[in-house]
């Protein structure tokens, strides 16, 4: 597996939602890594990072800062020049109250047309006091362009960090209640609340997971249980 690590960011700032480039879909910030209910607690790198998601149709951009939903980075604009994707982050809400913790947050970035995910990509990000450039290795299993199939997907952003992308209501983000690691993967159990009232929109939601560095990350599978997400997902690496 090729790990994507980034340059040091200038500062930490954020805003409320995660925007899908070229669309109006939005989602709240991702949970911190490792999750509060996770059984593993490795020491993760705090460098910015990126991971392929949705079969190469999107990228998760990881930055570190407050876990407050109102303080998560927002992708305001996404453009491509060849194999370089430039993400402009919106200025944060000056009235947002941010907690003083320091956790991983993931921004959903739709990959612009013309970018080939089977080849190496540079992800440049700027704005809202963030600035950096991330190398993202191409993957021959990915495909360029097309619409999302709306199915869960996952990608490695570090040796023990995974981004899990799911689709659904923006008001009912998945909440991890347990994470149990196995030889070739992990079982992720989500809280299920039958009484919860959810909006009828259909947006990308990114959950950040912390796991122990596996012996073979190229063959690592997540088994999802609960919250109508039951199924298996192979982690892109």
Write the pLDDT tens digit of every residue in 85-143. 999 998 888 898 999 999 999 999 999 999 999 999 999 999 878 899 999 999 999 99
Dist. CA 20–CA 217, nearest whole Å: 28
Cα dihedral value 55, 229, 4, 30, nearest 10: 120
Residue 12 within any structural domain of the chain: no
Dist. CA 137–CA 122, nearest whole Å: 9
Tell if the pTM clears 0.85, that is, is over it.
Answer: no
Residue 30 within any structural domain of the chain: yes
Dist. CA 98–CA 70, nearest whole Å: 7
Residue 1 within any structural domain of the chain: no
Question: How many domains, in total, are found in the chain?
Answer: 1
Which tokens hold the place of 98?
């941010």
Residue 142 within any structural domain of the chain: yes
Residue 2 within any structural domain of the chain: no
Which residue range is the domain that position 68 belongs to? 18-236
Dist. CA 46–CA 52, nearest whole Å: 19
pLDDT digits (tens, 9 = 90+) for 20-51: 333 333 344 444 444 433 344 445 578 899 99
């Amino acid at each position: 597996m090729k790990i994507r690590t980034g340059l040091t960011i200038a500062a930490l700032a954020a805003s409320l939602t995660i925007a899908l480039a070229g669309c109006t879909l939005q989602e709240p910030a991702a949970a911190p890594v490792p999750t509060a209910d996770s059984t593993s607690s490795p020491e993760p790198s705090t460098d910015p990072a990126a991971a392929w998601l949705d079969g190469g149709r999107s990228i998760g951009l990881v930055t570190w800062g407050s876990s407050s939903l109102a303080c998560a980075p927002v992708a305001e604009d996404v453009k491509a020049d060849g194999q370089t994707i430039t993400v402009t982050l919106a200025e944060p809400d000056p009235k947002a109250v941010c907690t003083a913790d320091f956790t991983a947050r993931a921004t959903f970035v739709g990959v612009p047309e013309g970018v080939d995910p089977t080849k190496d990509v540079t992800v440049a990000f700027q704005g809202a006091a963030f600035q950096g450039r991330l190398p993202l290795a191409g993957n021959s299993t990915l495909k360029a362009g097309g619409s999302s199939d709306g199915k869960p997907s996952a990608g490695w952003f570090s040796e023990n960090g995974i981004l899990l992308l799911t689709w659904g209501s923006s008001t009912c983000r998945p909440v991890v209640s347990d994470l149990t690691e196995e030889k070739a993967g992990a079982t992720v159990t989500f809280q299920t609340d039958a009484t919860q009232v959810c909006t009828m929109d259909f947006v990308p939601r990114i959950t950040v997971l912390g796991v122990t560095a596996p012996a073979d990350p190229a063959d690592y599978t997540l088994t999802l249980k609960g919250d109508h997400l039951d199924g298996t997902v192979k982690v892109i690496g």
